């Protein structure tokens, strides 16, 4: 849970138009755990506070080990 809180806090502190890139390597988590984080963030992005860059690539979430989040 600390991991999700950490990511959420990083997103909250972004100003409109800023972005942050998050990777499994940076977070020191497995690919499977990163996939879970990605699914969570994809769901949270539907609230409209941020966008996951290149949404089309999110469809291949099992191949991803990093993502860029843009603050709206």
The alpha-carbon radius of gyration of the chain (Å, integer) is 11
Mean pLDDT taken over the chain? 85
pTM of the model: 0.77
Query: Which of 41, 46, 44, 38 is closest to 62 using CA atoms?
Result: 38
pLDDT reported for residue 66:
87
The pLDDT of 51-67, averaged and rounded, is 68
Query: Which of 39, 61, 50 is closest to 9 using CA atoms?
Result: 50
The pLDDT of 13-19, averaged and rounded, is 94
Inform me whether the pLDDT recorded for 68 exceeds 60.
Answer: yes
Q: Give burial (CB, 10 Å; 0-12/13-18/19+) of 37.
A: middle
The pLDDT of 17-37, averaged and rounded, is 91
Query: What ranges do the domains of the chain cover?
Result: 2-71
């Amino acid at each position: 849970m600390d991991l999700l809180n950490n990511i959420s806090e990083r997103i909250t502190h972004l100003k409109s138009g800023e972005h942050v890139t998050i990777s499994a390597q940076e977070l020191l988590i497995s690919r499977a755990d990163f996939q879970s984080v990605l699914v969570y963030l994809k769901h949270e992005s539907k609230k409209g506070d941020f966008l996951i860059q290149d949404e089309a690539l999110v469809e291949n979430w099992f191949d991803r080990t990093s993502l860029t989040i843009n603050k709206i």
